[in-house]
Amino acid sequence: MISHPVYSLDQRVAASLHSRGYASLNRIECLAEGDHIVLRGSLGSFFLKQVAQDVAMKVPGVARVTNQIQVA
């Protein structure tokens, strides 16, 4: 029997961000507090900040996102 690892919510959000094709999203820190995700880091545009938030909200198990990403 092959077992698959169980990923934590923050790991699933990070993997989802990494799969979007924007290299800068790979630098975003994802912290889980229950079903609440906090996004931290710096991105080059408000567009990417919104993309990160939208992606995080669509991950199963996420009920709330606090977006603390800075736009620089």
pLDDT of residue 45: 97
Q: Where are the domains of the chain?
A: 9-71
Q: DSSP 3-state assignment of 56?
A: helix
Beta strands in the chain (DSSP E): 29-33, 36-43, 64-71
| CA dist., res. 60 & res. 72, Å (int) | 30
The answer regarding whether domain 9-71 maps to CATH 3.40.50.2300 reads no
pTM: 0.89
Low-confidence ranges of the chain (pLDDT < 70): 1-6
